[in-house]
Structure formats: structure tokens, C-alpha cells
């Protein structure tokens, strides 16, 4: 039989349930809001933000042989990127110099297990590319590489690296300016250097940045790409 005290207990129980449901609803709303803020922050974090030079403090190379389209007679081809070397980069370019991502993107190639060419392999490679080099030969010529696919669909290539930044691997997402490796002289590099290429489509199969441009037109396009003043 119900007594007055029972009704009081029932009322208190119902009130507690309503309060609990109210807090639970607000909690779900707050959780949803936090999740949305996280998604917006993530989108902003990985949004396209333009390109930068891959060597901190460097300037654009000026020597014609270090620019896109420079002839490479030994393989009957042309250079597809910017070669940063000491004396033409405004900073020393030595083995071990840090290299950074030119723009935000996803790592699609990271040669952590690269094995340097032996003298015999170098000689054989040079012989094989005398009439032209295909994608496989170009990979060996460039030595240790990192490739990054960017939001605009282009792929940047960082070549002749000595080693990769610790923990860098395929699938990793990197931000503009994040460290990705260190300057070296792997592949057919005659001295310490960084070769930076930017491709529309797969490297060696698509079109490289600056293709067909020369002189001031090429430098103007490069300054616009990297956000540099004249």
C-alpha cells in the first residue's frame, strides 16, 4: 500500500531522472560540438597554404644548370627541377642539412631502406641511360627520395637525400615546413645537393613545374609558386 513517503520518493526519483536526462542531452550536445570543432581544426590544419622552398633560409638557384629544363646530355634529357648546391642557394648545402616539406600533404614514397649504388652499378647505369632514361632509371639516378602528394594533386620530389627524418614513412601526413630528411649525394649526384621537383601527375610521366619555360619567365613563375619577392 502506497504511503505519503512513497509518493515523495517517487517524485524525487522522477526529478533525478529528468535532471540526469537533461545533463546527458547537454553532454551529447557538447560532445558533438567538440567533435565538430575538432573536424574544423583538422581541416584548417591540412588546408592548402602554398609552397615554400624546401631548404630553410635558401633562395632560388640562379645558375641555368640548376634550373628546370637544363640539358642533361649524359642521358639525352633535361633537368626536371631545382638543384640546391652550395654557392647557388644563399645557404651552405652540405650533407646533413635539413630538408623540409614544401607544402602540406601525404607522403607517398619514403626510401628508408635505400642502398647506395656501387661504382660498378653507377657505371652500368650511365651506360644504360646514354640514349635516354625511363622512370625506373630516373629513380636510381635521383638516389634516396621522398615524394609528397599535395592537396592540389601535385607531387613534390626530394632527391639525393642522405637519410630520412626519423619516423617518416609512407602514409604520414606532413605540414608545410615539417622536417622530412637530410641533404646527401646519393644516386648520381657528384656532390652534396638537393634536387626538388614538382610534378602534375606521377613523376617522370606527367608534366614538371616550369616545363618549357626559360630565363626570367621561369624565375617569375618560381617566385610566384614559392611566394618570393624579386
Instruction: Show the 3-state SS of the chain.
Output: CCCHHHHHHHHHHHHHHHHHHHHHHHHHHHHHHHHHHHHHHHHHHCCCCCCCCCCCCCCCCCCHHHCCCCEEHHHCEECCEEEECCCCCCCCCCCCCEEECCCCEEEEEECCCCCCCCHHHHHHHHHHCCCCCCHHHHHHHHCCCEEEEECCCEEEEEECEEEECCCCCCCCEECCCCEEEEEECCCCCCCCEEEEEEEECCCCCCEECCCCCCHHHHHHHHHHHHCCCC
Is 116 inside any structural domain? yes
Domain that holds residue 193: 64-226
Residues 188 and 81 in one domain: yes
Residue 46 has pLDDT above 60, yes or no: no
Say yes or no: 101 and 148 in one domain: yes
Q: Within this chain, do residues 8 and 90 fall inside the same structural domain, yes or no?
A: no
Nearest to 69 by CA among 81, 60, 53: 81
Distance CA 92, CA 124 (A): 32
Confidence bin at 230 (pLDDT 50/70/90): confident
Name the domain count of the chain: 2
Do both 179 and 80 map to the same domain?
yes
At residue 49, the pLDDT reads: 75
Check whether residue 93 and residue 178 sit in a common domain.
yes
Does 101 lie in the same domain as 3? Answer: no
Q: Tell me what the pLDDT averaged over the chain comes to.
A: 87
Q: Is 53 contained in some domain? A: no
Contacts of residues 209-215 at CB distance under 8 Å and 24 or more positions apart, as own/partner, are: 209/68, 209/81, 209/154, 210/67, 210/68, 210/69, 211/68, 211/69, 211/80, 212/69, 213/68, 213/69, 214/69
Q: Is residue 91 a part of any domain in this protein?
A: yes
Domain with residue 103: its CATH number is 2.70.70.10
Poorest-confidence range of 36-45, 51-60, 92-101, 220-229? 36-45
Same domain? 134 vs 22: no
Do 12 and 101 fall within a single domain? no
* Other Cβ atoms closer than 10 A to 183: 26
Residue 105 included in any domain: yes
Lowest-confidence pick of 35-39, 60-64, 172-176: 35-39
Q: Are 194 and 150 in contact (CB under 8 A)?
A: no
Spatial separation of the C-alpha atoms in residues 80 and 159, rounded to whole Å: 11
pLDDT of residue 219: 95
Question: Is residue 39 domain-shared with residue 153, that is, in the same domain?
Answer: no
What is the predicted pLDDT for the residue at 37?
Answer: 40
Residues 38 and 68 in one domain: no
pLDDT of residue 43: 43
Asked whether residue 190 carries a pLDDT value surpassing 50, the answer given is yes
If pLDDT is split at 50, 70 and 90, which confidence band does 229 have? confident
Residues 74 and 182 in one domain: yes
Residue 51 lies in a domain: no
Q: What is the spatial distance between Cα 179 and Cα 148, in angstroms, rounded to a whole number?
A: 12
**Residue 2 burial (C-beta neighbours within 10 Å; 0-12, 13-18, 19+):** exposed
Predicted TM-score (pTM) of the model is 0.80
Amino acid at each position: 500500500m502506497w504511503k505519503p513517503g512513497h509518493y515523495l520518493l517517487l517524485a524525487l526519483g522522477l526529478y533525478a531522472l529528468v535532471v540526469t536526462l537533461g545533463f546527458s542531452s547537454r553532454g551529447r550536445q557538447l560532445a558533438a560540438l567538440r567533435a565538430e570543432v575538432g573536424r574544423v581544426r583538422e581541416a584548417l590544419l591540412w588546408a592548402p597554404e602554398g609552397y615554400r622552398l624546401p631548404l630553410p633560409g635558401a633562395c632560388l638557384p640562379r645558375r641555368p644548370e640548376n634550373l628546370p629544363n637544363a640539358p642533361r646530355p649524359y642521358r639525352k634529357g633535361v633537368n626536371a627541377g631545382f638543384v640546391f648546391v652550395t654557392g647557388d642557394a644563399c645557404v651552405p648545402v652540405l650533407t646533413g642539412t635539413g630538408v623540409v616539406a614544401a607544402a602540406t600533404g601525404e607522403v607517398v614514397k619514403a626510401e628508408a631502406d635505400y642502398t647506395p649504388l656501387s661504382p660498378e652499378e653507377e657505371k652500368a647505369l650511365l651506360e644504360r641511360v646514354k640514349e635516354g632514361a625511363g622512370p625506373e632509371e630516373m629513380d636510381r639516378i635521383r638516389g634516396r627520395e621522398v615524394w609528397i602528394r599535395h592537396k592540389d594533386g601535385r607531387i613534390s620530389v626530394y632527391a639525393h637525400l642522405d637519410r630520412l627524418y626519423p619516423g617518416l614513412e609512407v602514409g604520414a601526413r606532413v605540414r608545410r615546413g615539417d622536417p622530412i630528411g637530410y641533404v646527401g649525394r646519393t644516386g648520381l649526384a657528384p656532390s652534396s645537393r638537393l634536387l626538388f621537383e614538382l610534378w602534375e601527375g606521377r613523376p617522370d610521366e606527367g608534366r614538371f613545374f616550369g616545363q618549357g619555360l626559360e630565363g626570367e619567365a621561369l624565375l617569375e613563375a618560381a617566385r610566384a609558386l614559392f611566394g618570393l619577392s624579386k
